[in-house]
Chains A and B, each alone.
Chain A
Amino acid sequence: ELKVEQNPLFLSMQEGKNYTIYCNYSTTSDRLYWYRQDPGKSLESLFVLLSNGAVKQEGRLMASLDTKARLSTLHITAAVHDLSATYFCAVNRDDKIIFGKGTRLHILP
C-alpha cells in the first residue's frame, strides 16, 4: 500500500525566514505533485516533479525530488504572509494520486 507522509503537519514561522517541508513516500513512484490549498478553497497545482533529481522553482518556493530516497522537499525562501496555506504533496501510483495529510503553514508578520 502506498503511503505518503508529510513533515511537519503544522508550521508557524516568521516572515523572512527559510524553511523546508518534507514528503516521504513508501513505494516506487516517478511522479510527485505539490499543491497549495487556501482555507475553504480548492487545490492549486504548484509543481509536478517527474524524475530523480528534478528541481523546480516558482517565486519563493522550490521543490525537489529524490526518487531513490523516496523523498521530496518544498523549500520556502524568505517567507511572506501570502504563503500561508496548507501544502499537500501527492504521489502518482498507476492512475491515482495519493495525498499526504498536508502541512498547515502559518506565516507570522
Chain B
Amino acid sequence: DAMVIQNPRYQVTQFGKPVTLSCSQTLNHNVMYWYQQKSSQAPKLLFHYYDKDFNNEADTPDNFQSRRPNTSFCFLDIRSPGLGDAAMYLCATSRALLVDTSNQPQHFGDGTRLSIL
C-alpha cells in the first residue's frame, strides 16, 4: 500500500501560470520534505516541515512556496513557473528529524513530473 502519495503523477502547466502539487502520507510522520530533481541530476532539497515548522533551503527560489495544513498533507506551490522549473518533484517523509532517527530512512512518493509549456 502506498504510504506517501503524490498527485498528480504528471502535471502540465503554462509558463507563468500558478500550479500546486500535492503530497499526502499515511505514516503519521512528523517531517515532510520536497525535493526537485531535474533530468539526470540528483534530488535537490527545496524545504521541509517539522510538524508545523517550515524550513526553507537558502537557495530555494521565492517562486516556490509550501503549505502543510495538517500532519497528512503538504503542498508545493509554484507561483509563476518558468521553463527551468520543469522537473520531477519528490515528496518524502521521515518519522523525526534525520539527525534524531536511528536507521529510519526517508520514505519517498512516486513523484510528480511537471512540464511547462
Residues on A lying within 8 angstroms of B by beta carbon are 31, 33, 40-45, 48, 50, 88, 92, 94-102, 104
Measured as residues with beta carbon below 8 angstroms from the partner, the interface class of chain B is 20 to 34
- A99–B106 alpha-carbon span in the complex (Å): 13
Interchain CA distance A95-B55 in the complex, whole Å: 10
- Which listed residue (A43, A50, A101) contacts B102, Cβ 8 A? A50
| Bound CA span A88–B92, Å | 15
Question: Quick check: is B73 within 8 A (CB to CB) of the other chain?
Answer: no
Give chain B residues whose Cβ lies under 8 Å from the Cβ of A104: 40
Quick check: is B77 within 8 A (CB to CB) of the other chain? no
Interface hit among B11-19, B42-50, B61-69: B42-50
What chain B residues lie within 8 Å of A45 (beta carbons)? Answer: 105-108
Judged by DSSP, the binding face of A is strand
Contacts of A43 in B (CB 8 A): 43, 90, 92, 106, 108
From B45, B92, B105, B110, give the contact of A48 (CB < 8 A).
Answer: B105
26 contacts between A and B (CB under 8 A): A33-B105, A33-B106, A41-B111, A42-B110, A43-B43, A43-B90, A43-B92, A44-B108, A45-B105, A45-B106, A48-B103, A50-B102, A50-B103, A88-B42, A88-B43, A92-B98, A92-B99, A94-B99, A95-B31, A95-B48, A95-B98, A96-B57, A97-B106, A99-B44, A102-B41, A104-B40
Dominant SS among interface residues on chain B: loop
Q: Which residues of B contact A (CB under 8 A)?
A: 31, 40-45, 48, 50, 55, 57, 90, 92, 97-99, 102-111, 113
